[in-house]
Structure 1
Amino acid sequence: MKKLAYILLCLLYCLPLSAQKQAAVPEKPWWKQNNLRVIQTNLPDYEAATLNPDSLVADLVHFSANTLIINAGGIMAFYPTKLDLQYTNPYMKPNMLGDVVRKCHEKGIKVIVRFDFSRVHESIFKAHPDWCYISPKGERIINTNMYAVSINAPYVQQGAFKIMGEVMDLYPIDGIFLNMPGYQVNNAYEGKYLGIDQNEADKKRFYEYSHGLTLPTEENPTDPTYIKYLEFKKHTGDDWSKRLYDLVKSKNRQIAICTYTEKYVDIIRHESQANNGVPYWPYTASDNVNNASHSFPDHIISNASIQQIGFQSRYNAVEPAEVAIRLYENITNGSGLDLSLMGDMRGYEDERNFSVISKVYALHKKHEQYFGNYTSTAKVALIAPGLWPGGLPMQEHRGIQLMLKEAHIPFDIIVSEQIENQADKIKEYGLIILPETTGLTAAAIQVLKDALARGSNIIATNTAMSDNPQALLDIFAAKAIAKDYDGSGNYLQPDNAAIFKRLKLQRMIMLKYNLAQYDLAAADSHYLPILSKGRPGPPEIIGGHTLTGNYAMAMKKNGKGTAVILPFNIGRLYYQNGYQEHKNIFLDVMEHVYPQAMQDVITNAPEKVEVIVQQYGKNNATASSKRDGLILHLVNITGFSGASYFEPLPVYGLNFKIRCDFKPKEVVMLATHQPIKFTWQNGMVNFAVKSLADYGAVLINK
């Protein structure tokens, strides 16, 4: 054996140096450099007839894109498939996809092919109706001549792998993008809910998984069978994703898997879409990237700016100023650039955004060594209700986020289900915010308790942890009497001038939305007495607001940290109404329990200038964990007005005082590399930015 080992060692040293390196160091996955500049062409079937690979590639080069996402298969094949289970696009040109891949590669552009296995053509449905979704009432999900499928039926469980395998065997692709994965319960393109899929394959697999239970027909969170069904959905989804991962990596480990989930995926894709309601949310990209990147730090995040206004308005793009904000926010939060549009860029129906796209993509290409290799400086963690939050919990979450943004307080967003998986990270935050956070596991609760013991502070709002009475009592010394109570007509008294410094001129703070009734007698201290609703009516009879004996704030020392509970909808109040007193209550409480939150970034920048500070390392082929300094990003959102986006107003004379644990070698503007005068003392760097247009960045170099 020793002789054999000696021979092998000699052979290794006889190899050329390049070969030795290749044997010793596996090739780094191409996406890991995190410098994506993606353009996705969502091709309608008829555009396959006119798409010109040469002009497509020329446009990608013109717009500085380095990655293309283009249709391949699933709903219909955009290549000459030999599989009977896949409908072929009648406009398909046999050489189109192959030519696109080859010509992109000649220009150094990666190609990710798009698959959508959510639907099949009616010809497939007629041959295999058992492959498709059926509602509890016997309805199908149909879009013109496309039928939604059942995940557990043969098309998805076997056919999808054959289709993807065929494409990987035919073309040297760089990635696979899965559109619309997951269980179907509604017609997303028409906004119609139909219910839990009752396909026989689903019934059989759920019966086997649950050891004899019947597939539920209603989404009832109190039904143990439905809770088991949720487990079943996650299990089957993970199983499918694992099988896909194994298939792809067995063929080529340099093929990236990209979709909207995180398990067995290389690139998590998210989307900034047009709002369908009010208030409009101008921070979609920051929200998405911050959340995904800190919840799943081992993944690359690609947040797509969706050009279309809606499913029924696909040919009309959102405003250019909104697209600019989305793309800049991608950069500032550590994502690359990503854009999704209908068709290719020739003869496009709405070209207003093209100049913005060209400008921001060129900026990223020119300065890409300063983007994408970041470590957060934040000491505040905001817990999110999900990667795609919705409903009232989303409003509470966004309201708190808006307060932090406008106060220029650095923060990381972490989805609640990842608390237990980010235990070491959670314990390092000085402040953890739980906006209406429920559904925490016992392990997550323990992580929060450990963080408090080490010195972290916690602020919880509205009904946070109300579903876990023991945790609510242990952490906040609070007992829920009634979780749901309409606070309209009640008032709060900012009773402690030492805490509520921003409310010196106010004696009564209005309320509405939820005001949970809590017994806070066991807490260390109580604040914000609640006044009764009084007498509503004409001016002549109003009044009568008296102390109820209840409080809207309590604090408890817990280990080395402090736990604060604000059992009312303070986040939703600010998100929906924007009254400064509610933000001021929250900021005053933050400053009282964790004053450093207000001291890491001190600036006179307007509230609608988004300020993001990151530690950065040079992002190149040899990028490492070495930090080269800080980068300050400034995104000008002054052009946002309610539901409209206009060009931002230029801002002048911005002063910054930023926490910096090293004496900078230099402070320079990223765009020009012109030096900026600065001072550094007591761990803070001070400098000024003369003017800001739509975006600016400052390098604080070691």
Structure 2
Amino acid sequence: MKKLAYILLCLLYCLPVSAQKKSAAVNEKFWWKRNNLRVIQTNLPGYEAATLNPDSLVADLIHFSANTLIINAGGIMAFYPTKLKLQYTNPYMKPNTLRDVISKCHQNGIKVIVRFDFSRVHESIYKVHPDWCYISPKGERIINTNMYAVSINAPYVQQGAFEIIGEVMDMYPIDGIFLNMPGYQVNNAYEGKYLGIDQNEADKKRFFEYSHGLTLPTEENPTDPAYIKYLEFKKYTGDDWSKRLYDLVKAKNKQVAICTYTDNYVDIIRHESQANSGLPYWPYTASDNVNNATHSFPTHIISNASIQQIGFQSRYNAVEPAEVAIRLYENIANGSGLDLSMMGDMRGYEDERNYGVISKIYAFHKKHEAYFGNYASTAKVALISPGLWPGGPPMQEYRGIQLMLKEAHIPFDIILSEQIENQADILKRYGTIILPETTGLTSAAIQALKDALAGGTSLIATNTALSDNPQALLDIFGAKVLTKEYDGSGNYLQPDNASIFKRLKLQRMIMLKFNLAQYDFAGADSHYLPILSKGRPGPPEIIGGHTPTGQYAMATKRTGKGMAVVLPFNIGRMYYQNGYQEHKHIFLDVLEYIYPQATQDIVTNAPEKVELILQRYGKNDAQANGNKNDGLILHLINLTGFSGATYFEPLPVYGITFKIRCDFKPREVVSLATHQPIKFTYQNGAVGFTVKSLADYGAVLINR
């Protein structure tokens, strides 16, 4: 898909100017394509329907510079006068409220996306149709007060949901639909309780038909062929439902956008920046989400919501204002619009501390929106992600590598592992691709990596990456697994080559933790980082005895024009958990050894906690024609106020110098906020300038 998009873009550039404008005009009719969303979502508790005032709601949206509203419509309960018996009507609902909200929003140029949630039904419906609802392998239901979780293969979702959406579209001139909590239920998410694979009779029957006779599994066992088939079944049924919805909506009105958390048959992929449930805290959540979705699904618009609530059991307490500011600025810098999700409307809100931040940043986006949302990446490093919602040790390995790159100010794109095979041509453009504990790749994805490697792209694999494909591990890295899982605590690494490990001149032993896989590197060209034995633990009097094991923690293999490096230990997870600089230094030394340009694209004295995001941009205004060659835009986000698990106001930073690789001589360098010129130099293909001061955020335009 991305290859096709690239070809079409190239053809577009070859068209006469008049044809380009015509093409742009065709795209412009789909309002979301402009990618300048400033969303406020009012997640209305049922009782707030009694007091919601359309006039004050719209006045607040205007005050906060929002151009898009997400508001409840139906599913769990109807916030409009439904005629469908399969849908429970909110007893606080006022018949004209939704119509008035939509009408008044449209009068003020504000789009309205209505929210549906088909994950649950009211107990009154459950009592009549228990067969529509989830049932666990133990016969349990997922219940939240008087709402019962449903089965997506039962009639309510397979038929009733389409009736509800059709009814709303027939009654109201909506601009979009948002689907909350789509997909299969295995958890009581609001109580944090796992119950297991849905055993509804509709699921059993459909799975039996799909699998040609298999029994629906009761356990999530990745070694069970029936469970592997079930994962395939879930994707098939999810895509089938999404396509049917897409066809229904677009048949009624092509200009109604579909927005949800999946990628197939949607117009806007929604993601969420939520409060961390554990430590260490992750301050790059919005950058992570938007970068990941944008480069994995480049034909979609991404809208990453800053979730106000601290958690499901703390909905009326918001996260800190400084955290919200970082999220919103990271949205802008990575190419998303602004998106905020809150409980209820903005009047009488229980925690208004964020209002000043929201007002400031939404107004800033509105004022400068011509410079946002029409970007192309400059990055030459790609980081492979384990998922859009990663978790567990693979997430920690991935985030640790991401943290190293962020702090070193190395631009990078994030691509989902499952999308590698769809990005084969794009991968060849990168100087280096990083595979942090990446497994489960298809044969097509492996071939895409091999093709990129042969063409000159280097690869870095960490921990157990590709260990589930012994032939690929041998072909690409010249490595064989001897022991896949081994606790590295107590072992040490020796940085044995000063020409590679330039940042480790004062260290001769590097501590280890977590997994340390044992590999045979006989098929590699070279090996480095000798592993020392665990030695003697105990009091100071007896410690020591760390001797070479004959094993190594790094190997290189050249194929074609590219070099592949494997680091079979948890280098990313160690940095994510503990933050010791030597592990970052090993990784950066390796990256610089195989791809020196990585640390040369942006040379700066900016502190590690100033996040830098560099993009090619095109003016995103009424005359926009898809061009992204108006220049470069450098975003600076100040994270110096982040302190482990707490967010304070950032400290001002002064005198930040830059030397940025630039393939054109700039006409001017200016501050986005003031449009005042910044003195610059241009030598040897690099533009140099100084940002005199940075508060919470800044942006610099480097214009052609």
Q: TM-score, normalised by structure 1?
A: 0.97
Task: Give the secondary structure class of the aligned counterpart of 1:160.
Answer: helix
Aligned to 1:659: 661
Aligned to 1:175: 176
Question: How far did 1:624 drift?
Answer: 2.3
Structure 1 stretches of 4+ moved >6 Å: 20-24
Compared CA separation, residues 24 and 614, structure 1 to 2 (3 A) = closer
Question: How far did 1:559 drift?
Answer: 1.0
Q: Do the aligned residues in 1 keep the contact of 2:27 with 2:33 (CA within 8 Å)? A: no
Q: Deviations over 1:540-560 (max 9, x none)?
A: 000000000000000000110
Task: Provide the C-alpha distance between the structure 2 equivalents of 1:484 and 1:541, rounded to a whole number of angstroms.
Answer: 28
Question: How far did 1:47 drift?
Answer: 0.2
Residue 69 in structure 1 maps to residue 74 in structure 2: no
Aligned to 1:385: 386
Letter in 1 for 2:196: G
Letter in 2 for 1:647: E
Q: Do the aligned residues in 1 keep the contact of 2:654 with 2:694 (CA within 8 Å)? A: yes
Letter in 2 for 1:482: T
1:628-647 maps to which residues of 2 (within 5 A)? Answer: 628-647=630-649
Residue 502 in structure 1 maps to residue 503 in structure 2: yes
Residue of structure 2 aligned with 1:669, choices 668, 671, 676: 671
Question: How far did 1:52 drift?
Answer: 0.2
1:307-456 maps to which residues of 2 (within 5 A)? Answer: 307-456=308-457
Aligned to 1:689: 691
Letter in 2 for 1:691: S
Aligned to 1:15: none
Residue 289 in structure 1 maps to residue 287 in structure 2: no
Question: How far did 1:363 drift?
Answer: 0.4
Task: Give the secondary structure class of the aligned counterpart of 2:243.
Answer: helix
Residue of structure 2 aligned with 1:649, choices 642, 646, 651: 651
Aligned to 1:216: 217
Q: Do the aligned residues in 1 keep the contact of 2:317 with 2:351 (CA within 8 Å)? A: yes
Aligned to 2:51: 50
Q: Deviations over 1:432-487 (max 9, x none)?
A: 00000000000000000000000000000000000000000000000001110000
Aligned to 1:13: none
Task: Provide the C-alpha distance between the structure 1 equivalents of 2:676 and 2:106, rounded to a whole number of angstroms.
Answer: 36
Aligned to 2:5: none
1:79-98 maps to which residues of 2 (within 5 A)? Answer: 79-98=80-99
Task: Give the secondary structure class of the aligned counterpart of 2:109.
Answer: coil
Question: How far did 1:22 drift?
Answer: 11
Compared CA separation, residues 321 and 550, structure 1 to 2 (3 A) = same
Aligned to 1:123: 124
Task: Provide the C-alpha distance between the structure 1 equivalents of 2:22 and 2:137, rounded to a whole number of angstroms.
Answer: 59
1:567-582 maps to which residues of 2 (within 5 A)? Answer: 567-582=568-583
Q: TM-score, normalised by structure 2?
A: 0.96
CA RMSD of aligned residues (A): 1.3
Compared CA separation, residues 388 and 23, structure 1 to 2 (3 A) = closer
Q: Do the aligned residues in 1 keep the contact of 2:611 with 2:637 (CA within 8 Å)? A: yes
1:130-141 maps to which residues of 2 (within 5 A)? Answer: 130-141=131-142
Structure 2: tracts of 5 or more residues without a match = 1-20
Aligned residues: 684
Letter in 2 for 1:130: D
Task: Give the secondary structure class of the aligned counterpart of 1:190.
Answer: coil
Task: Give the secondary structure class of the aligned counterpart of 1:419.
Answer: helix
Task: Give the secondary structure class of the aligned counterpart of 2:519.
Answer: strand
Task: Provide the C-alpha distance between the structure 1 equivalents of 2:452 and 2:23, rounded to a whole number of angstroms.
Answer: 43
Q: Do the aligned residues in 1 keep the contact of 2:23 with 2:625 (CA within 8 Å)? A: no
Task: Provide the C-alpha distance between the structure 2 equivalents of 1:122 and 1:55, rounded to a whole number of angstroms.
Answer: 33
Letter in 1 for 2:125: I
Aligned to 1:193: 194
Task: Provide the C-alpha distance between the structure 2 equivalents of 1:188 and 1:476, rounded to a whole number of angstroms.
Answer: 41
Q: Do the aligned residues in 1 keep the contact of 2:306 with 2:327 (CA within 8 Å)? A: yes
Task: Provide the C-alpha distance between the structure 1 equivalents of 2:616 and 2:76, rounded to a whole number of angstroms.
Answer: 43
Task: Provide the C-alpha distance between the structure 2 equivalents of 1:66 and 1:152, rounded to a whole number of angstroms.
Answer: 36
Letter in 2 for 1:329: E
Aligned to 2:164: 163
Letter in 2 for 1:561: G
Q: Deviations over 1:223-244 (max 9, x none)?
A: 0000000000000000000000
Question: How far did 1:576 drift?
Answer: 0.1
Task: Give the secondary structure class of the aligned counterpart of 2:379.
Answer: coil
Work out the percentage of aligned pairs sharing the same amino acid.
86
Task: Provide the C-alpha distance between the structure 2 equivalents of 1:621 and 1:432, rounded to a whole number of angstroms.
Answer: 37
Q: Deviations over 1:116-144 (max 9, x none)?
A: 00000000000100000000000000000
Q: Deviations over 1:603-627 (max 9, x none)?
A: 0000000011000000012322321
Aligned to 2:228: 227
Q: Do the aligned residues in 1 keep the contact of 2:84 with 2:164 (CA within 8 Å)? A: yes
Aligned to 2:11: none
Structure 1: tracts of 5 or more residues without a match = 1-19
Task: Provide the C-alpha distance between the structure 2 equivalents of 1:426 and 1:254, rounded to a whole number of angstroms.
Answer: 33
Task: Provide the C-alpha distance between the structure 2 equivalents of 1:35 and 1:659, rounded to a whole number of angstroms.
Answer: 28
Task: Provide the C-alpha distance between the structure 1 equivalents of 2:658 and 2:664, rounded to a whole number of angstroms.
Answer: 16
Task: Give the secondary structure class of the aligned counterpart of 2:429.
Answer: coil
Q: Deviations over 1:550-588 (max 9, x none)?
A: 000000001100000000000000000000000000000
Aligned to 2:558: 557
